[in-house]
Amino acid sequence: MLHFSKLMGATLVAASLMAGVASAQTVLRSSDTHPDGYPTVEAVKYFGELLNERTDGRYTVEVFHSAQLGEEKDTIEQVRSGVIDLNRVSMGPFNGLIPETTVPSLPYIFRSVDHMRKVMDGEIGDEILAAFEPHGVIGLAFYDGGARSFYNSKKPINSVDDLQGMKFRVMQSDIFVDMVNALGANATPMPYGEVYSGIETGVIDGAENNWPSYDTAKHAEVAKFYSLDEHLIVPEVLVMSKASWDKLTPEDQAIVKQAAKDSVAKQRELWEAKEKESRALVEANGTTVTTPEKKPFIDAMGPVYEKHVTDPKLKDLVTRIQAVE
């Protein structure tokens, strides 16, 4: 009898422990437009592992890659309304919503990837992350997105002149539309997932992106001319829904923030390797790379800055970014 009740007790304890563990475990859903294995996808998984370890398994992160939860602009809205907990996106689609995100999205604002990292890792980066919160989003960390250049299905681009009248897809932000127009070409804003068929069917002549996107989205199959003008170095950003954030204790918020920061080095390591791998792959598969002189591209950007940098706060940000050595 004694034995039996002991057994019963142990079973009850085990059952309630299991129930307790199950109910205390929260799965955070994260969106990414890129396929599994892409550096941003892997970095968010790594962030999830850190978070899981540091909360003794109370939180896990599930990454929905390959735009399973939608295109970036739509997922941003879902994050704002609390339907999705986390999102890894470019800064570009935030431009219409958060004025501070327009500055790191300006063409040629950064002299190099190192300059971008120095700025985004420092107090200017923290200031820009803080600007997300009033819009229902918590900025957690910036990832690398390398440099973006134009590519097309028609011809090699050796100068600004070669771009005249060509049609390029851009991310859904006015800055990028004005950037393409300032170069004498025509911009078509459209979601990332429509670019491949846009080029294939001739709706657009090309697009612009970094090596890993050009490669993994298979744009290299339909647009074989890549010109290394490197007009944009737009950081990627990992954000959390403010609705999800507000459910966390201050201690857990600190753990989330730190885990995100700690995933940056991992993302950069993966990124550097992927950039090299993707470039080698597309070149081996017949992409022609040209290297136009950058100065005429930079000189053409005056009107973009004049139009988009009017607010004194943004002007100040531009000046401070340019002053970072």
- 55 or 75: CB nearest ligand GTR: 75
Distinct helix (H) and strand (E) counts, the chain: 15, 11
Selected binder of ligand GTR within 236, 239, 274, 304 (CB under 6 A): 236
Check residue 215 for interaction with ligand GTR (CB under 6 A). Answer: no
Query: Which one-letter DSSP state was computed for residue 93?
Result: G
By C-beta, is 140 or 255 nearer to ligand GTR?
A: 140
Closer CB to ligand GTR, residue 55 or residue 278? 278
We find the least distance from the C-beta atom of residue 172 to ligand GTR, in angstroms, to be 8
Q: Is residue 144 a contact residue for ligand GTR (CB under 6 A)?
A: no
The least CB distance from residue 274 to ligand GTR, in Å, is 11
135 Cβ contact partners less than 8 Å away, ≥ 6 residues apart: 80, 97, 98
Nearer to ligand GTR, 55 or 209 (CB): 209
- Asked if 148 and 230 touch (Cβ cutoff 8 Å), the reply is yes
Complex with ligand GTR: residue 50 or 170, whichever CB lies closer? 170
Helix/strand/coil for 303: helix
33 interacts with ligand GTR by CB under 6 A: yes
CB of 287 to ligand GTR, least distance (A): 17
Give the H/E segment covering residue 72.
helix 72-80
Task: Enumerate the H helices of 217-263 as residue ranges.
Answer: 219-222, 242-245, 250-262
Sequence-separated (6 or more) residues with CB below 8 Å from residue 4: none
Q: Min. distance of Cβ 143 from ligand GTR in angstroms?
A: 9
The verdict on 171 binding ligand GTR (CB under 6 A) reads yes
**What is the smallest separation between the CB atom of 124 and ligand GTR, expressed in angstroms?**
21
| Per CB under 6 A, 209 contacts ligand GTR | yes
Helix (H) or strand (E) segment spanning residue 239: strand 236-241
Q: Which of residues 60-89 bind ligand GTR (CB under 6 A)?
A: 72, 89
Question: In this structure, how many other beta carbons lie within 10 angstroms of the beta carbon of residue 153?
Answer: 17
Indicate whether 102 belongs to the interface with ligand GTR (CB under 6 A). Answer: no
Map tokens 């299905």 to a residue: 153
Question: What gap in Å lies between CA 183 and CA 298, rounded to an integer?
Answer: 10
Give the position of tokens 């923030």.
257
Q: Which helix (H) or strand (E) holds 238?
A: strand 236-241
**Nearest-approach distance from CB 134 to ligand GTR, in angstroms:** 23
Q: What are phi and psi of 143, to 5 degrees?
A: -115, 170
CB of 71 to ligand GTR, least distance (A): 8
Closest approach of ligand GTR to the CB of residue 120, in Å? 15
**Shortest CA distance to 212 belongs to which of 153, 280, 113, 265?**
280
Taking the least distance from each CB to ligand GTR, the nearer of 170 and 255 is: 170
Give the nearer residue to ligand GTR in terms of CB position, either 139 or 145: 145
Tell me if 173 contacts ligand GTR by CB under 6 A.
Answer: no
Token digits of residue 146: 């390398």
Does 90 help bind ligand GTR (rule: CB under 6 A)?
yes
Query: Is 165 in contact with 158 (CB distance < 8 Å)?
Result: no
Report the DSSP beta bridge partners of residue 86.
30, 240
Q: Among 11-19, 94-102, 158-166, 205-213, which window interacts with ligand GTR (CB under 6 A)?
A: 205-213
Q: Which of 192, 211, 225, 245 binds ligand GTR (CB under 6 A)?
A: 192
Contacts with ligand GTR by CB under 6 A lie at 33, 72, 89-90, 92, 145, 171, 192, 209-210, 213, 236
